[in-house]
Amino acid sequence: ATQPYDDQNVFARILRGEIPSRRVYEDDYAVAFHDIAPVAPVHILVVPRGAYVSWDDFSARGSAEEIAGFVRAIGHVAREHELVAPGYRLLANIGGDAGQEVPHLHVHLFGGRPLGPMLA
């Protein structure tokens, strides 16, 4: 079973506007903002508005509408940043072995330079 959702996690606080972020997009389903420690010229985090710990939690409990909205938001951010032609990478860490640090689902969007081979 997935861990219970901690509504004091940093992305929950960003969603509530309790701590600042550099937002680049928001709609009914998702919010996107710059990663505080970027590892590529474009490094944006896209999070669903709903309280989901991880991809596992979201895929199990999220409604079809939320899931579709979230997926569309990610695509929208990539197009808005003109990343489609050069290419970009999406990544989600799920749980301890993946090194997930923040227990609110987030998808990393990397771009703006050749990204090299996928990490093992």
* Sites of contact with ligand 5GP (CB under 6 A): 10, 21, 33-37, 45, 93, 99-102
Which of 11, 84, 112 shows the shortest CA–CA distance to 53? 11
The answer to whether 107 touches 74, Cβ cutoff 8 Å, is yes
Q: Which is nearer to ligand 5GP, 43 or 76 (CB)?
A: 43
* Cβ at position 47, least distance to ligand 5GP in Å: 10
Q: Which is nearer to ligand 5GP, 34 or 89 (CB)?
A: 34
* Cβ at position 55, least distance to ligand 5GP in Å: 11
108 is known as an active-site residue = no
Which pair of structure tokens corresponds to residue 19? Answer: 């701590």
| Cβ within 8 Å of residue 109, ≥6 positions away | 32, 42, 43, 44, 45, 46, 74, 77, 78, 81, 83, 88, 89, 90
Q: Widest CA span of the chain, in angstroms? A: 40
* Cβ at position 14, least distance to ligand 5GP in Å: 6
From the list 43, 81, 106, 108, the catalytic residue is 106
Q: Which is nearer to ligand 5GP, 38 or 87 (CB)?
A: 38
- Catalytic residue numbers? 106
